């Protein structure tokens, strides 16, 4: 039941170097071997650094991915949902090899489309520049001379702008103030606006310096330079803009014409990424002049088939051995349909360490229950079940982790539905609110199959504590199981059985007090004689912990001190048990918020506007409530597993089994020999 960690075999493959390529490609397609760094490094065997080749393939994969992104931007591919529904495209080995022969041609097309996109971007960027030049020339269209004309041998011409709106009279006055000695000056305003005034000034060449200095003091700025008059320059710029726009359209059409090559680009991405992975593996091999040795791990169930497949195709020696205690074998989990969905939760904490049990089955049993208690609304649960079921049936090529997560929420939805009916919650009190508001039938409501937590919170709190205590005790049981499995029975008694006696006895002793059972809304009070028995059991457990918690020390004084500190650990159990009150808090939050939204929606009453408002508030409110409280249930369920439950027995620290495989995005192989 517990041990769902697949046993691993250490595999060593020795083959001729001429068969290296087909062997590695076969292993990559099979995806059953995790390759480790070779440990042979002497005069005969050595490692080859293939990082440059790996980097080259990675670069090609990036080029192909970039080309695909460019194509998708101009000719959108299938939607993400459609791709998930269809799944990756299957390709046979023959089709794969045929496309490999065209890889250079495909890469040429990839570079071509990237170059087209670059030219397109540069052309598009040039259009606003031309437009700004046209706008800058508009105030000068009535000016007949080129704007770069500076005068003749005897005269100097100044064309430019002054800030703000300036009249010719004011301009002439200011010019006379600054340079009264200059008489041969001709001024003209070309155009004016609130932002600027375009001016034209002609003076004798001898007065040019004085005029220029004066204009500078007036914040004079030069216009855009043109070798022809502004009207002709603007006409040329407009023609250039049209040419650029036309070129943009031509480039877009050229890019769109590559749509038929989308499949080739996708293949190139997968092919070069797979090649890069293969060359990273080659760098790990121990190689001689004629042979190579590959070492790694494979699941025990695949070891024989792997050996038979390789030996039937190649001249190869395949040896599989049991990993030694010193070796850090990778971890691969395999659970039944009920427990497998919570494997991502276990992995997010840590995979089982060496000799540890896989907690997935135990986690699954409590995960679904805890989640359902916190969300506890039948309608929300049905929505989760239907949504996850549709996603699992429609989307054929989901990643393994995503599929497991959807299955986990599917089971969580079932649990939520069950607790919703037990606690009488279906969109909160929506049944009663709708019946009362719109049908004048206050007698219609969804009865709780057990009780309503909002009316009996102490009974719900007692139930939460009971579930929490069971959760913690199962964690202790898992710790005891591992001790017994390792042959450490005495440690199991000292570290688990005594804690069962202390915590369990103390809890049972409380049930002999009527004040406690009354506070917790319990109808049964244990007889005082039985309570006394459990009290003595708790005392015996405390004494056992006191005497054994410091058993690793030979000094009795230190042993007793450690024992006292061990007994103090009872406060940790109290804190852990109180943590399960969050089950009550989140369960009530879901119900209360749902009820509030129902009341808000029904405030207008039984009328057409009232129905419309109710529907709007109902949909928005319950969508938000489901999203927020489902997230809260997920987070706090994980916390109860990671902190309270795993803290009792689980350490983790295992490394995940990561086989050498074809991690493709768009294609998958039809491998008849897949193990």
End-to-end Cα separation, the chain, in angstroms: 25
Which of these ranges, 33-47, 340-354, 474-488, has the smallest mean pLDDT?
33-47
Question: What's the CA gap between 271 and 60, in Å, rounded?
Answer: 10
Q: Give the pLDDT confidence score for residue 554 in this predicted structure.
A: 80
Which residue ranges make up each domain of the chain?
148-223, 337-452+627-655, 454-579
Structure-block tokens of residue 194: 């609130």
pLDDT at 103 over 50: yes
Average pLDDT, the chain: 90
Q: 70: how many CB neighbours lie within 10 A of its CB?
A: 20
Q: Give the pLDDT confidence score for residue 674 in this predicted structure.
A: 40
Distances (CA, A) of 147 to 153, 194, 453: 17, 22, 86
Using DSSP, how many helices (H) and how many strands (E) does the chain show?
Answer: 25, 10
For the stretch 19-41, what's the b/e string if a residue is b when 16 or more beta carbons lie within 10 angstroms of its beta carbon?
bbeebbbbbbbbbbbbbbebeee
pLDDT bin (cut points 50, 70, 90) of residue 675 is very low
Q: How many CA atoms lie within 13 A of 446 on its CB side?
A: 18
Q: Is 108 helix (H, G, I), strand (E, B) or coil?
A: helix
Q: Give the pLDDT confidence score for residue 672 in this predicted structure.
A: 43
Q: Give the pLDDT confidence score for residue 398 in this predicted structure.
A: 80
Which of these ranges, 336-350, 393-407, 657-671, has the smallest mean pLDDT?
657-671
Q: Give the pLDDT confidence score for residue 659 in this predicted structure.
A: 93
Q: What is the DSSP string of 548-600?
A: HTTTT-S-HHHHHHHHHHHHHTHHHHHHHHHHTHHHHHHHHHHHHHHHHHHHH
pLDDT at 130 over 70: yes
Provide CB contacts within 8 A for 184, sequence distance 6+.
Answer: 203, 204, 207
Each residue's pLDDT tens digit, 40-80: 766 788 888 888 999 999 999 999 999 999 999 998 877 66
Q: Give the pLDDT confidence score for residue 139 in this predicted structure.
A: 92
Structure-block tokens of residue 276: 């890069």
Q: Give the pLDDT confidence score for residue 41 in this predicted structure.
A: 66
Q: Find the mean pLDDT for residues 4-31.
A: 92
pLDDT at 670 over 60: no
**Topology of domain 148-223, per CATH?**
Alpha-Beta Plaits (3.30.70)
- 146 with 227: CB under 8 angstroms? yes
Structure-block tokens of residue 320: 């599989």
Q: Give the pLDDT confidence score for residue 544 in this predicted structure.
A: 94
Q: Give the pLDDT confidence score for residue 1 in this predicted structure.
A: 43
Each residue's pLDDT tens digit, 372-387: 999 999 999 999 999 9
Distances (CA, A) of 221 to 163, 199, 216, 403, 456: 9, 10, 8, 67, 83
In this structure, which long-range contacts are made by residues 628-631, counting pairs with CB atoms below 8 Å and at least 24 apart in sequence? 629/374, 629/375, 629/380, 629/586, 629/589, 629/590, 629/593, 630/375, 630/380, 630/384
- On whether the pTM is more than 0.75, the answer is yes
pLDDT at 603 over 50: yes
């Amino acid at each position: 039941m517990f041990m769902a960690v697949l046993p691993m075999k250490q595999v060593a493959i020795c083959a001729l170097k001429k068969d290296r390529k087909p062997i590695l490609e076969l292993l990559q397609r099979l995806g059953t071997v995790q390759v480790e760094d070779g440990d042979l490094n002497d005069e005969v065997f050595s490692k080859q650094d293939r990082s440059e080749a790996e980097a080259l393939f990675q670069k090609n994969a990036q080029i192909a991915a970039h080309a695909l992104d460019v194509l998708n931007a101009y000719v959108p591919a299938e939607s993400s949902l459609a791709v998930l529904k269809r799944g990756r495209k299957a390709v046979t080995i023959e089709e794969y090899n045929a496309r490999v022969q065209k890889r250079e041609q495909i890469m040429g097309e990839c570079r071509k489309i990237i170059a087209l996109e670059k030219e397109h971007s540069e052309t598009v960027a040039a259009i606003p520049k031309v437009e700004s030049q046209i706008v800058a020339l508009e105030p000068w269209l009535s000016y007949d001379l080129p704007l770069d004309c500076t005068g003749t041998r005897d005269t100097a011409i100044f064309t430019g702008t002054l800030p703000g709106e300036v009249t010719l009279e004011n301009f002439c006055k200011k010019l006379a103030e600054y340079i009264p000695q200059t008489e041969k000056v001709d001024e003209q305003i070309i155009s004016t606006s609130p932002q600027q005034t375009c001016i034209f000034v002609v003076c004798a060449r001898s007065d040019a310096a004085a005029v220029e200095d004066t204009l500078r003091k007036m914040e004079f700025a030069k216009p855009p330079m043109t070798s022809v008059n502004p009207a002709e320059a603007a006409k040329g710029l407009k023609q250039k803009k049209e040419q650029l726009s036309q070129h943009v359209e031509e480039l877009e059409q050229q890019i769109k014409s590559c749509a038929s090559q989308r499949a080739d680009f996708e293949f190139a991405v997968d092919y070069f990424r797979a090649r890069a992975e293969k060359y990273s593996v080659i760098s790990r091999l121990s190689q001689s002049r004629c042979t190579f040795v590959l070492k790694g791990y494979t699941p025990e169930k695949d070891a024989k088939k792997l050996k038979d497949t390789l030996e039937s195709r190649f001249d190869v020696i395949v040896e599989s051995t049991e990993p030694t205690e010193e070796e850090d074998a990778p971890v691969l989990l395999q659970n039944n349909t009920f427990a497998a969905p919570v494997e991502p939760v276990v992995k997010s904490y840590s995979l089982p360490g060496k000799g540890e049990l896989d907690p997935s089955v135990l986690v699954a049993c409590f995960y679904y229950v805890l989640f359902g208690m916190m969300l506890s609304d039948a309608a929300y649960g049905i929505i989760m079940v239907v949504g996850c079921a549709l996603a699992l049936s429609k989307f054929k090529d989901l990643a393994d982790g995503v599929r497991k997560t959807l299955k986990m929420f599917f089971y969580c939805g079932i649990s939520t539905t069950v607790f919703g009916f037990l606690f009488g919650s279906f969109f909160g009190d929506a049944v009663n609110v709708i019946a009362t508001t719109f049908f004048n039938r206050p007698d219609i409501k969804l009865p709780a199959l057990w009780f309503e937590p909002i009316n009996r919170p102490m009974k719900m709190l007692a139930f939460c504590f009971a579930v929490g205590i069971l959760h913690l005790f199962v964690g202790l049981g898992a710790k005891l199981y591992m001790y017994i499995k390792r042959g450490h029975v005495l440690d199991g008694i000292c570290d688990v059985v005594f804690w069962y006696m202390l915590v369990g006895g103390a809890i049972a002793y409380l049930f002999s007090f009527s004040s406690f059972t009354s506070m917790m809304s319990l109808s049964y009070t244990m007889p005082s004689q039985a309570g006394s028995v459990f009290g003595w059991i708790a005392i015996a457990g405390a004494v056992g912990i006191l005497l054994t918690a410091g058993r690793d020390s030979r000094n009795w004084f230190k042993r007793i001190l450690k024992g006292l500190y061990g007994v103090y650990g009872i406060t940790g159990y109290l804190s852990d048990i109180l943590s399960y009150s969050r089950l009550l808090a989140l369960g009530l939050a879901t119900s209360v918020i749902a009820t509030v939204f129902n009341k808000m929606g029904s405030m207008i009453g039984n009328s057409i506007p009232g129905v419309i408002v109710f529907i709007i508030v109902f949909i928005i409110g319950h969508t938000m409530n489901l999203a927020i409280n489902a997230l809260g249930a997920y987070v706090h369920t994980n916390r109860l597993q990671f902190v309270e439950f795993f803290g009792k027995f689980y350490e983790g620290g295992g490394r995940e089994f990561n086989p050498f495989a074809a991690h493709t995005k768009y294609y998958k192989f039809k491998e008849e020999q897949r193990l």
